[in-house]
Homo-oligomer: A and B are copies of this chain.
Amino acid sequence: MLELDLDRASRRGAPEAVLCDAKSVEQVAAIAGEYARLAAAGREDLGPVLFTRADAARAAAVLAALPGAHHDPVARFLAWPAEPPAPSGGLVIVACAGTSDLPVAREAELTARHLGRPTRLIADIGIAGLHRLVARLPELREAACVVVAAGMDGALPTVVAGQIAAPVVALPTSVGYGVAEGGRAALTTMLSACAPGIGVVNIDNGYGAGHLAAQIARWAPAPPG
């Protein structure tokens, strides 16, 4: 009853991803083991595979079967094989305001990288200190797509989208309390943004944001330098 979607690469041009937190440790181990088995059997069309939202136990289960996988514990993310493809297409920048949004932002960046894009992470711009954001605009304008992760009021993607020409993927996070608890406030703000050019993904869906950004940047010119 394993769910390998091995033809996804040909159908969608993207690796399979296994959402771990809705599966038991045993189920995750079985899926990782099946990949190991197929690899050992020399299966040729075996693409890369990503494991997302993996806590320590699930990550250990993946690593036991696929010891060569890359594991980022903060992002709760694993990729196998560990090495991302050679970067092609335009630059994907993932931006957030600070340490709280970092795990989800990092998941987005890793996803885009393992889908083959050059990536960069900017983790210290916010709307309270506008001068920092303004100082970063030239850098942000190099990107073919900017993922902006934000919790609390979720206003950062709007501000960024208003200043650049590239599309923005807005990534609400569940960071917040009171009316912002769980990320709904951030989500609603992003959907209501006055500035056009914003595509929104589900709360904490760093994988989805990175995937979309990689698709968007696919045809764009490589970044300068």
Contact = CB atoms under 8 A, between A and B. Distances in A.
A118 to B, nearest CB: 14
A5 interface: yes
Interface string A200-225: 11111101100110011011110000
Interface stretch (A41-49, A54-62, A120-128): A120-128
How many copies of this chain? 8
Interface of A: 1, 3, 5, 7-8, 11-14, 17, 19, 21-24, 27, 53, 90, 97-100, 102, 123-124, 126-130, 134, 144, 151-155, 158-159, 161-167, 169, 172, 174-205, 207-208, 211-212, 215-216, 218-221
Contacts of A186: 192
A178 B191 contact: yes
Q: Which of A134, A172, A180, A221 has the most CB atoms of chain B within a 10 A radius of its CB?
A: A180
